[in-house]
Amino acid sequence: MKRTSTYQPGLAWFAALGSAWVFVLVTLGAFTTSIGAGMAFPDWPLSNGSVNPEGWLTDVAMFAEHSHRLSGATMGLITLALAVWLWRAEARAWLRKLGWWALAIVIVQGLIGGKRVLFDSLVVPGFDMTFGQMLRIPHGVLAQVFVCLLFAIAAGLSRTWVERNGGLRGASAAATRRLGFWGLFLLLTQLWVAAAMRHNHAGMAIPYFPFSTAGHGLLPPAWDYRVVLQFAHRVLAVVLAVALAAFVRALWRDAAVSAALRGLGVALLGLVALQIALGAQIIWSGRNAYVTTGHVLVGALTLATAFLLVFITHRPALDSAPRA
Residue 321 has pLDDT above 80, yes or no: no
Residue of 34, 30, 152 whose CA lies nearest to 96? 152
SS3 for 50?
Answer: strand
Whether this prediction's pTM lies above 0.85 is answered by yes
Which residue pairs, CB below 8 angstroms and at least 24 apart, start in 285-288?
A: 286/204, 287/34, 287/203, 287/204
| Average pLDDT in the chain | 93
pLDDT grade for 164, boundaries at 50, 70 and 90: confident
Least confident span in 37-51, 153-167, 246-260, 266-280 = 153-167
Phi, psi of 47, rounded to the nearest 5 degrees: -115, 110
User: Which pLDDT tens digit goes with each residue over 53-70?
Assistant: 999 999 999 999 999 999
Mean pLDDT of 289-315: 95
- Residue 105: other Cβ atoms inside 10 A: 17
User: Which pLDDT tens digit goes with each residue over 66-102?
Assistant: 999 999 999 999 999 999 999 999 999 999 999 999 9
Percentage of the chain modeled with pLDDT above 70: 98
The alpha carbon dihedral of 320, 307, 184, 87 has a sign of negative
What residues does each domain of the chain span?
1-163, 167-324
Show the beta-strand stretches assigned E in the chain. Answer: none
Which pLDDT value is given to residue 163? 86
User: Which pLDDT tens digit goes with each residue over 179-228?
Assistant: 999 999 999 999 999 999 998 989 999 999 999 999 999 999 999 999 99
Residue 126 has pLDDT above 90, yes or no: no
